[in-house]
Structure 1
Amino acid sequence: MGRLTDKRIWITGASGGLGERLAYSCVAEGAHVFLSARREDRLQEVKNTITARGGRCDVIPFDVRHAEEAENVRRLIGHVDVLINNAGFGIFETAADSSLDDMKSMFEVNVFGLIACTKACLPVMLHAKSGHIINIASQAGKLATPKSSLYSATKHAVLGYSNALRLELAGTGVAVTTVNPGPIKTDFFTIADKEGSYVKSVGRWMLDADRVAERITSVILTDKREINLPGWMSLGTKLYQLFPSFTEKLAGRVLKKK
């Protein structure tokens, strides 16, 4: 028995990385998790680990780029108490070198898929007068850096959407939390940082995926507005928002670590 016993939690992007760790963390608190991602084989491996531990897990393969299918997935799940929009990816390239295909794919996954899953769950949550939508954004949504123009743009969009949604849902019983982590030790960087230069530069500061997952799990079904990790990076983004020109001059070299 745990704090989330019998709560039904849908996690997208759950075949690895933070999504997988979130699944384990939620199950440890008694939740029944529903896992979505493109890679069914990896989802099944995660499910096998969960069931071996006595947890409850269902797998529903789903590529969030196909936003029109989100409602069908939600119907397969039934009632959803918590939606964790975790699916996302990035590619670190200059604006000049970025392709239109990369732009389309990143917005389809990071923004349109997130919105589609949210819209699919909202009627159920509003009817129940309870629920929680957790959107995994990024510190990049608050502080853009070189070679992340497209990725930062998608995360800015996620924050804007989430902030407006939170205001719309005030008083309905449905909470909205955004999670803004810095770099996390996951396979995210196998795509984002193909040269490995960014990982070498910031590796010692990377967040542990299990600890991030536990932090997120601890605020499920609360009215927590934001989670910003790590704390020192959050202070940097606040400084940037107050004094953008000064921060760019002061931390210019650091911001160009990619």
Structure 2
Amino acid sequence: MSSEFKDRIIMVTGASDGIGQRVAVALGEAGANVIALARKEDGLQQTRDRIEELGGRCLCIPFDLMRFNDYGKLFLALKDQIPHLDGIVHCAGSIDRCTPMQYVKPDTFRQMLDIHLTAPNMLTQIMLPLLRRANAASVIFTSCDMINEDQANWHGYGLAKRALGYAAAMWQMEHPDAPYRFNTLNPGRVRTELFKRAFGGTHPKEVPAVSSVVPAYLYLLSDQSKDLRGQSLQAADLNITA
């Protein structure tokens, strides 16, 4: 699978740590040209250093996905630098703590909806002209267990993540014959900083490492999964290993 990524151009959000960083590094190692987006510049530098150590290429762009008015500037900065986009992997996300709906503050609720639902959809929208330039392209929205399981105390985060399944299906229905495709992937619980904050009472070693779900992302970006369109998928069900 790795050789097919040579010279492909793939954007990864949340690329400064967690799943986003691991996916970005794996793509760079496989020969892709990675466009890494994140707010944390030090984490982005670590991502680029690791990719370059492995012989890959990475364009790091410090970018706050909550600044929606800057999306157009991002597109204009990229459209003349790159010929197309072969994929977007939406991994950016955050949550400070799980809170019952009756106690969550309006600003926190809106932030969770914006970063996990508004941002990936609006970024996909603004980058669509670059996706259209590719021979084929794959967009992956990262969901979570709430995509098909009711859980309490996740307020705007859980609502946004559940809506991503519908978002991917909607994008695909609106572009039924396009060479680009949209899917949602639930990586399940893995050892990220977000997991540690949300499940403080769970020992990290009780859940798989982030690296265990990276092959599922690469599979959905590859031509091997070209028939998967508008689906809500579970990394565990794909059973893809490195």
In the other structure, the counterpart of 1:117 is 123
Alignment equivalent of 2:164, drawn from 155, 158, 162: 158
Conserved 8 A contact 1:141-1:154: no
| 1:25 maps onto 2:56 in alignment | no
Residue equivalent to 1:97: 103
After superposition, residues 162-177 of structure 1 pair within 5 angstroms as 162-177=168-183
Match in the other structure for 1:255: none
Mapped to 2, the partners of 1:27 and 1:83 lie a distance apart of 14
| Equivalent in the alignment of 1:133 | 139
SS of the aligned residue for 1:47 comes to helix
Deviations along 1:131-179, whole A, 9 cap, x unmatched?
2111111121221201113221011221111111111121110111210
1:35 offset after TM fit, Å? Answer: 0.5
**Between Structure 1 and Structure 2, whose CA radius of gyration is higher?**
1
Residues 219-238 of structure 1 aligned to structure 2 (within 5 Å): 219-221=220-222, 222-223=225-226, 224=228, 225-231=231-237
Partner residue, 2:154: 148
Letter in structure 2 aligned against 1:188: L
- After superposition, residues 153-232 of structure 1 pair within 5 angstroms as 153-193=159-199, 196-197=200-201, 199-200=202-203, 204=206, 206-221=207-222, 222-223=225-226, 224=228, 225-231=231-237
Q: Which runs of 5+ in 1 are unaligned?
A: 232-258
Match of 2:43 in 1: 42
Equivalent position SS for 2:213: helix
- Offset of 1:69 from its aligned partner? 1.7
In the alignment, does 2:88 pair up with 1:88? Answer: no
Letter in 2 for 1:105: Q
Q: Aligned-pair RMSD on alpha carbons?
A: 1.9
Q: 1:13–1:87: 8 Å Cα contact kept in structure 2?
A: yes
- How far the C-alpha of 1:57 sits from its partner, in A, is 0.5
1:14 aligns with 2:20: no
Aligned residue for 2:240? none
| TM-score calculated relative to the size of structure 2 | 0.86
CA contact (8 A) 1:140 1:151 kept: no
1:180/1:227 contact within 8 Å kept: yes
CA distance in 2, matches of 1:229, 1:125: 24
DSSP-derived class of the 2:123 partner: helix
Distance 1:175 1:130 in 2: 8
